[in-house]
Amino acid sequence: MKRSKIKEILSTDSFEYKAKVAGWVRTFRNNQFIALNDGSVLTSLQLVVDFESMDKELIKNITTGAAIIAEGTIVPSQGRGQTHEMKCEKLEVVGTSDPEVYPLQPKRHSMEFLRDIAHLRFRTNTFSAVFRVRSTAAYAIHKFFTEKGFVYLHSPIITGSDAEGAGEMFRVTTLPPQNPPTTEEGAVDYGQDFFGSETNLTVSGQLEAELAALALSDVYTFGPTFRAENSNTTRHLAEFWMIEPEMAFCDLEGDMDLAEEMLKYVIAYVMKNNEEDLIFLENRLLQEEKSKPQHLRSEMNLRDKLAFCVDNDFVRLSYTEAIDILKNCKPNKKKKFQYLIEEWGADLQSEHERFLVEKHFKKPVILIDYPKDIKAFYMRMNDDGKTVRAMDILFPGIGEIVGGSQREERLEILKSRMEEMHIPAEEMSWYLDTRRFGTCEHAGFGLGFGRLVQFITGMGNIRDVIPFPRTPGNAKF
């Protein structure tokens, strides 16, 4: 008999048919009821075994964590709490699990503990729900862009360029660490390295996406990116997945419209397709927040918050307007911010972003036209000579979720910006070629996929929405 996934069995109202299931035991009660979970859905299938007729050795091996394959008849459940159950006729324990040493017990474990056993945390309700949602969200992103006629581009992971000019990169080399070859000046001679030049893991696929957009019109990347910044926060990873669309013949307005439409589409898609997971995650969050003081609890429950985001226009305002609000707001005047906003030009910290979104506007916010000095070299200069056509989207509980801009398409202005920011134009001549040959208005953005999944699942830490988080001091598994 072919194995059925538990999701299929629970999704129909048909009964009195034979089925075969396989999965892992969550609990075994009264020597009679097995809760079997196969990860296809949150709900476990109840298997009812006949203790009297069963081999006692076999019964002993039905323990939490054991892998079993069972055959039987699907019937309406007599008990409360479930609709279906399987009257078990054949049962095999294919992988035993010693309950004395199996780290997961049928009780609530702390997120920190589960991070330490990340290889097993997929087997909890919370993490199976998170990773199903993550998968649905990834699919929704591909679906959204495909329906819009975007070309999915695989930008390189190993590169010689530092897209953001931020300089916080992981080096890629095959030179011996002990005594690498050196140049006459005594520096490491990367000319003798694998690629014949210095290389690193990409921090962003944007520059390559721009090259492709100036031929294919609309492209997007969706892949891992790497940043060697020593940021120990709940929103930073050293390895994170980013979605980067890039559009030719598009300005900042078009860029913002696309970003807003995409976020709403993906959130709505998950709400429609992972309802059970979201209900579970919503209750998990409610439980978690019970231990927090009232003012730190969310004002809306998880699904209401998601619906609110889908149903309302995001607020759009300039950096300059935001600074005015922040300068005059209570937490700034009462010196409650860690970084006080004193003047125009200040870089916004997450406390400021969250104030705007959570306290002031109570809606997602798109901030535009940032001072050029706090943004990357490729952003289009405004006529004021002070600000650039940048946009950041700020989300409740998260802060910055999207960063993007209209790109500087004018060769001379771009070159002088690069000079100002000490970016060697010779090494970037491939990038400048797009401005030399058929340049045009274009724009794009980067969405941090982990932050989006954090928002949708309500998980407090980005380390809990990626299977194996890479953070300073940790690359386990």
CB of 161 to ligand 4AD, least distance (A): 11
Q: Which 200-259 residues touch Mg ion, going by CB under 5 A?
A: none
Q: How far is the CB of 477 from ligand 4AD (least distance, A)?
A: 18
Task: Please identify, among the stretches 29-37, 88-96, 129-137, 395-403, the one whose residues bind ligand 4AD according to the rule CB under 6 A.
Answer: 395-403
d(CA 128, CA 98): 22
Going residue by residue from 218 to 257, which x/- string records binding to ligand 4AD, judged by CB under 6 A? ---------x--------xx--x-x-x-------------
Binding mask 176-215 for ligand 4AD (x = CB under 6 A): ----------------------------x-x---------
C-alpha closest to that of 456 among 137, 41, 42: 137
Q: Which of 364, 396, 403, 469 binds Mg ion (CB under 5 A)?
A: 403
Residue 396 found at the interface with ligand 4AD (CB under 6 A): no
Structure tokens at 182: 């050196």
Which among 86, 76, 72 has a CA at the least distance from the CA of 35?
86
Contact pick of 65, 396, 450, 458 for ligand 4AD (by CB under 6 A): 450
For 33-97, the three-class secondary structure string (H helix, E strand, C coil) is EEEEECCCCCCCEEEECCCCCCCHHHHHCCCCCCEEEEEEEEEECCCCCCCEEEEEEEEEEEECC
130 binds ligand 4AD (CB under 6 A): no
Residue 372 interacts, among ligand 4AD, Mg ion, none and using kind-specific CB cut-offs from 5 to 8 Å, with none
Please identify, among the stretches 175-183, 214-222, 295-303, 398-406, the one whose residues bind Mg ion according to the rule CB under 5 A.
Answer: 398-406
CB 185 within 8 A of CB 118: no
Task: Please say which residue, 226 or 265, places its beta carbon nearer to ligand 4AD.
Answer: 226
Q: Are 193 and 127 in contact (CB under 8 A)?
A: no
**Distance between CA atoms of 219 and 205, rounded to whole angstroms?**
11
Shortest Cβ distance from residue 56 to ligand 4AD (Å)? Answer: 52
Q: Which is nearer to Mg ion, 282 or 353 (CB)?
A: 353
- Please count the residues of this chain forming the interface with ligand 4AD, following the rule CB under 6 A: 22
* Contact (CB, 8 A) for 477 and 119: yes
Give the nearest distance from C-beta 284 to ligand 4AD in angstroms. 22
Closer to ligand 4AD by CB, 39 or 165: give it. Answer: 165
d(CA 450, CA 224) in angstroms, rounded, equals 11
Q: What 8-state DSSP symbol labels residue 150? A: P
Q: How many CB atoms lie within 10 A of CB 187?
A: 9
Rounded Cα distance between 84 and 73, Å, is 10
Contacting ligand 4AD (CB under 6 A), which of 65, 364, 396, 404? Answer: 404
375 binds ligand 4AD (CB under 6 A): no
Task: Give the shortest CB-461-to-Mg ion separation in angstroms.
Answer: 20
Buried b (16+ CB within 10 A) or exposed e, 132-161: bbbebbbebbeebbeeeebeebebeeebeb
Stretch binding ligand 4AD (CB under 6 A), from 145-153, 175-183, 288-296, 445-453:
445-453
Task: Report residue 262 CA to chain centroid gap.
Answer: 14
DSSP letter assigned to residue 443 = E
**What is the C-alpha separation between 314 and 146, in angstroms, rounded?**
24
CB-based closest residue to Mg ion:
403
- Give the span between the Cα atoms of 442 and 404, in whole angstroms: 11
User: Which span sits near ligand 4AD by CB under 6 A: 275-283, 344-352, 358-366, 447-455?
Assistant: 447-455
Considering the complex, state which of residue 63 and residue 382 has its C-beta at the smaller distance from ligand 4AD. 382
Q: Which residues of this protein are in contact with ligand 4AD, per CB under 6 A?
A: 163-164, 204, 206, 227, 236-237, 240, 242, 244, 400-405, 444-446, 448, 450-451
Q: Which residues of this protein are in contact with Mg ion, per CB under 5 A?
A: 403
